[in-house]
Chains A and B, each alone.
Chain A
Amino acid sequence: MTDQPDTPNTRELRKNQPRFSGMESGHRACLGCGEALAARLVTEAAGPDVVYANATGCLEVFTTAWPESAWRVAWMHSLFENAAAIAAGMEAALKRQGKSTRVIAMGGDGGTFDIGFQALSGMLERGHNVLYVCFDNEAYMNTGIQRSGSTPHAAATTTSPSGKLRMGKRHLKKDIVTIVAAHHIPYAATASVAYPSDIRKKVRRALAIDGPTFLHIHSPCPLGWGHDGSLSIEVARLAVQTGLFPVIELERGGLAGVMPIRELRPVTDYLAIQQRFRHLFADNARAREELEHLQALADHNIEFYQLRGTHPDTRDTEGADTVTRGGMRWA
């Protein structure tokens, strides 16, 4: 019934994979977790000579149920709000020791946009040679789907539910990458789990730079966003193709790169498949207005970042992960 050979020796196979294993199987992430995938891709691309500072959140919880750890890299979790400061300390130490080992800080949107914002800003301002990666699933997911500064406008969470008086989150999504870039750091970029080659390329690009760098990765949460785990990549892709999540690169505050949208999709394609936007499809004027608002926000992004390329680009939304026979789509 299957083409899979009988009982392959997976233990041995696992040791011989043609890629660096930073995050191992056996972690407790939900089915189809976008953040787990993003973290796996980041550690893969960064390689072994790195130490990690991870903020409190889903990622550290599902990877380190003591005495087990899914990490194969040197890794530390301290608190919710200090990943950037821990990373700064690690960087100072390794610099003083004359080591080439790099430092990567990892945090969710809560730990980056909100509670960890101060530490991040301080680290950036002081110019530490640290790559900060934010896995953005747009809410405090670990504590059960509460709204954060990153939650998009009109999304429903447990602390911004929809109801008779409210249509989900009132406020807009904080524009973190622009704020970060305003620190005049050498490199700040957004990426999405829908484009794994792009993530790998950006991790390597950031690590090749001396100084603070920032990578904001859009990572769907099936449980929190209300979709099947098998659709995480699809959802992430639609966020990019609608213009709601622009994939851009900023150097010293100026726009340096854009992933153009080759085939534009209306925001409803993205919103309709997530339960957290379900209230926007009710038959009433407020819902319709909010849909228009979200479309307007997408249109604004498209205009502001010039997201419609004028001609096909190998790094646009259709070309970025084109498959070829034989694979190995390395950036």
Chain B
Amino acid sequence: MGMRLTPGAFAHPGSSLRYHTGSWRMQRPFHRHRAAPCHTACPSGEDAQAWLALVEQERFREAWECIVRANPLPAITGRVCHHPCEHACNRGRFDQPVAIHHVERWLGDRAIQEGWDYPAAAAAPAGTPVAVVGSGPSGCSAAWHLAQQGYPVHLYEALPVAGGLLRSALPPYRLPRTLLESELERLLSTPIDFRPAQRLGRDYSLAELQADYAAVYLAPGTQRSRAWDIDGATPHDLHIGLDLLKRWVDVGSIPEWSSVAIVGGGNTAIDLARVIRHAGVKEVHVITHQSLPHAGIRQEDAMPAIVREIEQALEEGVIIHEHRGVQRLVLRGERVVGLELVHRKKMREQQATRRFVSFEGTESLLYADQVIPAIGQTVDPKGLEALLDHASHLAADAVGRVTGHPGIYTGGDARGDRGSVTEAIGDGRVAALAIARDLQRLKDSDTTEPVPVAYDELNLNYFERQARPATPRLPVDRRTAEAEVTGSLQRAEVVGEGQRCLSCGNCMTCDNCWTLCPDVAVLKTRDPEDENSGYVFDYDYCKGCGLCAHECPTAYIVMEDET
């Protein structure tokens, strides 16, 4: 007969591979690395998720290197940053935010302890140098990033030492001196040509910089106090908040007052209040039209000072009067003996402008023998008259190009729309990148802000609730003007925080997709012994059911329509 016969129609193993079920698909999964909210929230551009992953694996040195690729001063920011990353952290909605700030501090401290070298630059410095004016956080950051890209950098500083406000205005109980010195010294020993005791307007001019350098980055900060009065009246011995703080940091003494009122709600006000309390002044009041940062208060209505610092101030006995303004000074002769307080708020208007409103009938008297304004600073115009033209701050675009002055860039407090060390560091980085692009005549890339992974996109069924560790705090009765109040986490706690990181938008090789695909269409790549195996989709068989995307804990898998 010669025809093919079959004994009972049995089949051979795995012969189904001939049938490509991928043809069924209406949508297909993709791996897409997305920005974690900590990354988009960080003013200095750190990818906290990336370095937390390294911390979890106890690869501390690599984690530190990851940080300094954006922010070269982690031991400092790990103490003074207001950590918007933690506010944005998705874990915060699940149980408590990852202690990113404290982990950064631990890594910064460890780098100093272990003497880890800063990563080498892409290329040896070559070409016309770039000038940076001001060695505060912004100037240091700009210098670092320019050097990393291979530009020779000359960093000018008016004072004999580097640091700017970090040195002059941050009290040691927040930022210990030794630590500041170590971090700055280590940074400045990378190929950055540091030129201290050179003051703009006295020792060199802006015109000279423009002539000799390929570009100029100005980070002079805001050294000048705002004029302040209450209906034209001021104390005869008016001390401006920041100046007073600086003097105290420098000299260490506060005049002997029995009761002080500080006007302002920012870090300077709080720092000053605590310094004055430590110095022994019995009553220290902070007057602010804004709210204490309770749960439920919107960020724009709250005092801009860092929450932890406010908490510690309250512990130390500082009295904060929220939603108040000073209506009138009570003077005896030229001496202040008190202030008339009134309920005051900034009202939101229709065009998003705001105006202060004081509520008639709510006046009260506060007895104080000193009132100190801490309401902000402006740029010292010396040497920058041509740029400033009587404005209080330097006007610049999003990446720091000073308006109307090509080749000149700025960032940090001098811009006027900043208020933190981290933002200053971020400005330095962004401007350095812009300088590089401009010098190479490259266009700015299409900067659409990446949308960070939202809480609802994660699959949190695969995590267990776990509180973050409490950071040690010096008990109130042991606090002095010098001792660092906030302590450090332990190594195990640090690694634990790395584990608590949800890895938003990035694969954590948890094996969920590989475990849960009913069609064996997710395959592990790389050597199976290597814990960091990645995965690939086998599109010959993937039916596009979307189970992998739905069960991916980190929102790393997205489904898109099959084209």
Assess whether B33 is interfacial by the CB under 8 Å rule: yes
Q: Given contacts A10-B536, A67-B15, is CB(A321)–CB(B21) below 8 Å?
A: no
Whether B464 and A229, one on each chain, are in contact in the complex, defined by CB atoms closer than 8 angstroms, is no
Q: Write out the residue numbers on chain A whose beta carbons fall within 8 Å of the beta carbon of B465.
A: 318
Q: Given contacts A3-B33, A228-B546, A327-B509, is CB(A17)–CB(B524) below 8 Å?
A: yes
Whether B33 and A32, one on each chain, are in contact in the complex, defined by CB atoms closer than 8 angstroms, is no
A31, A69, A237: the one within 8 Å of B544 (CB): A31
A28, A40, A69, A326: the one within 8 Å of B15 (CB): A69
Whether A327 and B510, one on each chain, are in contact in the complex, defined by CB atoms closer than 8 angstroms, is yes
A67, A68, A230: the one within 8 Å of B546 (CB): A230
Whether A13 and B523, one on each chain, are in contact in the complex, defined by CB atoms closer than 8 angstroms, is yes
Q: Write out the residue numbers on chain A whose beta carbons fall within 8 Å of the beta carbon of B101.
A: none
- The chain B residue sitting closest to A325, CB to CB, is B508
**Docked CA distance A88–B309 (Å):** 73
Whether B520 and A229, one on each chain, are in contact in the complex, defined by CB atoms closer than 8 angstroms, is no
- The listed residue with most B CB atoms (<10 A of its CB), out of A26, A28, A71, is A26
Whether B519 and A69, one on each chain, are in contact in the complex, defined by CB atoms closer than 8 angstroms, is no
- The listed residue with most B CB atoms (<10 A of its CB), out of A21, A37, A325, is A325
Assess whether A127 is interfacial by the CB under 8 Å rule: no
Report the minimal beta-carbon distance from B555 to chain A, rounded to whole angstroms. Answer: 13
**Docked CA distance A321–B510 (Å):** 10
Assess whether A24 is interfacial by the CB under 8 Å rule: yes
Whether B518 and A72, one on each chain, are in contact in the complex, defined by CB atoms closer than 8 angstroms, is no
Whether A25 and B520, one on each chain, are in contact in the complex, defined by CB atoms closer than 8 angstroms, is yes
Interface residues of A in 13-63 (CB under 8 A from B): 13-14, 16-18, 21, 23-29, 31-34, 36-37, 40-41, 63
Whether A232 and B547, one on each chain, are in contact in the complex, defined by CB atoms closer than 8 angstroms, is yes
Q: Given contacts A13-B523, A14-B538, is CB(A325)–CB(B509) below 8 Å?
A: yes
- The listed residue with most B CB atoms (<10 A of its CB), out of A21, A25, A319, is A25
Whether A14 and B523, one on each chain, are in contact in the complex, defined by CB atoms closer than 8 angstroms, is yes
**Docked CA distance A134–B328 (Å):** 82
Report the minimal beta-carbon distance from B463 to chain A, rounded to whole angstroms. Answer: 7
- The chain A residue sitting closest to B462, CB to CB, is A323
Q: Write out the residue numbers on chain A whose beta carbons fall within 8 Å of the beta carbon of B17.
A: 24-26
**Docked CA distance A29–B518 (Å):** 8
Assess whether B401 is interfacial by the CB under 8 Å rule: no
Whether A69 and B12, one on each chain, are in contact in the complex, defined by CB atoms closer than 8 angstroms, is yes
Assess whether B11 is interfacial by the CB under 8 Å rule: yes
Chain A 300-318 against B: per-residue CB contact (8 Å), 1 yes, 0 no?
0000000000001000001
**Docked CA distance A329–B24 (Å):** 31
Assess whether B532 is interfacial by the CB under 8 Å rule: yes
- The chain A residue sitting closest to B535, CB to CB, is A4
Q: Given contacts A13-B536, A24-B16, A26-B21, is CB(A325)–CB(B518) below 8 Å?
A: no
Interface residues of B in 512-560 (CB under 8 A from A): 512, 514-521, 523-525, 528, 531-534, 536-538, 540-541, 543-547, 549-551, 553, 559
Report the minimal beta-carbon distance from A243 to chain B, rounded to whole angstroms. Answer: 17
Whether A2 and B15, one on each chain, are in contact in the complex, defined by CB atoms closer than 8 angstroms, is no
B516, B531, B545: the one within 8 Å of A31 (CB): B545
Assess whether B493 is interfacial by the CB under 8 Å rule: no
Whether A10 and B11, one on each chain, are in contact in the complex, defined by CB atoms closer than 8 angstroms, is no
Whether A4 and B15, one on each chain, are in contact in the complex, defined by CB atoms closer than 8 angstroms, is no
Whether B464 and A319, one on each chain, are in contact in the complex, defined by CB atoms closer than 8 angstroms, is yes
- The chain A residue sitting closest to B553, CB to CB, is A323
Q: Given contacts A25-B17, A25-B538, is CB(A40)–CB(B510) below 8 Å?
A: no
Whether A25 and B509, one on each chain, are in contact in the complex, defined by CB atoms closer than 8 angstroms, is no
Assess whether B479 is interfacial by the CB under 8 Å rule: no
Q: Write out the residue numbers on chain A whose beta carbons fall within 8 Å of the beta carbon of B528.
A: 16-18
Whether A323 and B463, one on each chain, are in contact in the complex, defined by CB atoms closer than 8 angstroms, is yes
Q: Given contacts A13-B524, A13-B536, is CB(A233)–CB(B14) below 8 Å?
A: no
Assess whether B57 is interfacial by the CB under 8 Å rule: yes
Q: Given contacts A13-B524, A230-B550, is CB(A66)–CB(B462) below 8 Å?
A: no
Chain A 222-239 against B: per-residue CB contact (8 Å), 1 yes, 0 no?
000000111111100100
Whether B547 and A5, one on each chain, are in contact in the complex, defined by CB atoms closer than 8 angstroms, is no
A1, A5, A322, A328: the one within 8 Å of B525 (CB): A5
Q: Which of under 10, 10 to 19, 20 to 34, or 35 or more describes the interface residues of A?
A: 35 or more
Assess whether B56 is interfacial by the CB under 8 Å rule: yes
Whether B16 and A229, one on each chain, are in contact in the complex, defined by CB atoms closer than 8 angstroms, is no
- The listed residue with most A CB atoms (<10 A of its CB), out of B519, B523, B538, is B519
Whether B524 and A18, one on each chain, are in contact in the complex, defined by CB atoms closer than 8 angstroms, is yes
A18, A41, A68, A73: the one within 8 Å of B16 (CB): A68
- The listed residue with most A CB atoms (<10 A of its CB), out of B53, B499, B531, is B531
Whether B56 and A40, one on each chain, are in contact in the complex, defined by CB atoms closer than 8 angstroms, is no
Report the minimal beta-carbon distance from A317 to chain B, rounded to whole angstroms. Answer: 9
**Docked CA distance A329–B551 (Å):** 15
Assess whether A70 is interfacial by the CB under 8 Å rule: yes
Assess whether B461 is interfacial by the CB under 8 Å rule: yes
Q: Write out the residue numbers on chain B whose beta carbons fall within 8 Å of the beta carbon of A26.
A: 16-21, 541
- The chain B residue sitting closest to A41, CB to CB, is B515
Chain A 207-223 against B: per-residue CB contact (8 Å), 1 yes, 0 no?
00000000000000000
**Docked CA distance A318–B462 (Å):** 7
Report the minimal beta-carbon distance from B143 to chain A, rounded to whole angstroms. Answer: 34
Chain B 5-32 against A: per-residue CB contact (8 Å), 1 yes, 0 no?
0000101111111111100100000111
Whether A25 and B21, one on each chain, are in contact in the complex, defined by CB atoms closer than 8 angstroms, is yes
Q: Write out the residue numbers on chain A whose beta carbons fall within 8 Å of the beta carbon of B20.
A: 26
Assess whether B503 is interfacial by the CB under 8 Å rule: yes
Whether A233 and B547, one on each chain, are in contact in the complex, defined by CB atoms closer than 8 angstroms, is yes
Assess whether B243 is interfacial by the CB under 8 Å rule: no
**Docked CA distance A33–B536 (Å):** 21
Whether A70 and B14, one on each chain, are in contact in the complex, defined by CB atoms closer than 8 angstroms, is yes
- The chain B residue sitting closest to A324, CB to CB, is B510
Assess whether A111 is interfacial by the CB under 8 Å rule: no
Report the minimal beta-carbon distance from A173 to chain B, rounded to whole angstroms. Answer: 24
Q: Write out the residue numbers on chain B whose beta carbons fall within 8 Å of the beta carbon of A67.
A: 9, 11-12, 15
**Docked CA distance A319–B512 (Å):** 14
Assess whether B511 is interfacial by the CB under 8 Å rule: yes
Report the minimal beta-carbon distance from A321 to chain B, rounded to whole angstroms. Answer: 6
Whether B19 and A322, one on each chain, are in contact in the complex, defined by CB atoms closer than 8 angstroms, is no
Whether A233 and B551, one on each chain, are in contact in the complex, defined by CB atoms closer than 8 angstroms, is yes
Whether A36 and B519, one on each chain, are in contact in the complex, defined by CB atoms closer than 8 angstroms, is yes
**Docked CA distance A5–B526 (Å):** 12
Whether A72 and B14, one on each chain, are in contact in the complex, defined by CB atoms closer than 8 angstroms, is yes
Interface residues of B in 491-509 (CB under 8 A from A): 499, 503, 507-509
Whether B525 and A13, one on each chain, are in contact in the complex, defined by CB atoms closer than 8 angstroms, is yes
Further pairs besides A25-B538, A28-B21: 8, Cβ < 8 Å: A1-B32, A5-B525, A8-B523, A24-B14, A24-B17, A26-B17, A325-B53, A327-B512
15 contacts between A and B (CB under 8 A): A3-B534, A16-B528, A17-B528, A27-B16, A28-B21, A71-B13, A71-B14, A196-B515, A229-B547, A318-B464, A321-B462, A323-B510, A324-B499, A325-B509, A329-B511
Binding site for A on B (CB under 8 A): 9, 11-21, 24, 30-33, 53, 56-57, 461-465, 499, 503, 507-512, 514-521, 523-525, 528, 531-534, 536-538, 540-541, 543-547, 549-551, 553, 559
Binding site for B on A (CB under 8 A): 1-5, 8, 10, 13-14, 16-18, 21, 23-29, 31-34, 36-37, 40-41, 63-73, 196, 228-234, 237, 312, 318-319, 321-329
Q: Which 3 A-B pairs have the closest CB atoms?
A: A327-B511, A230-B546, A26-B16
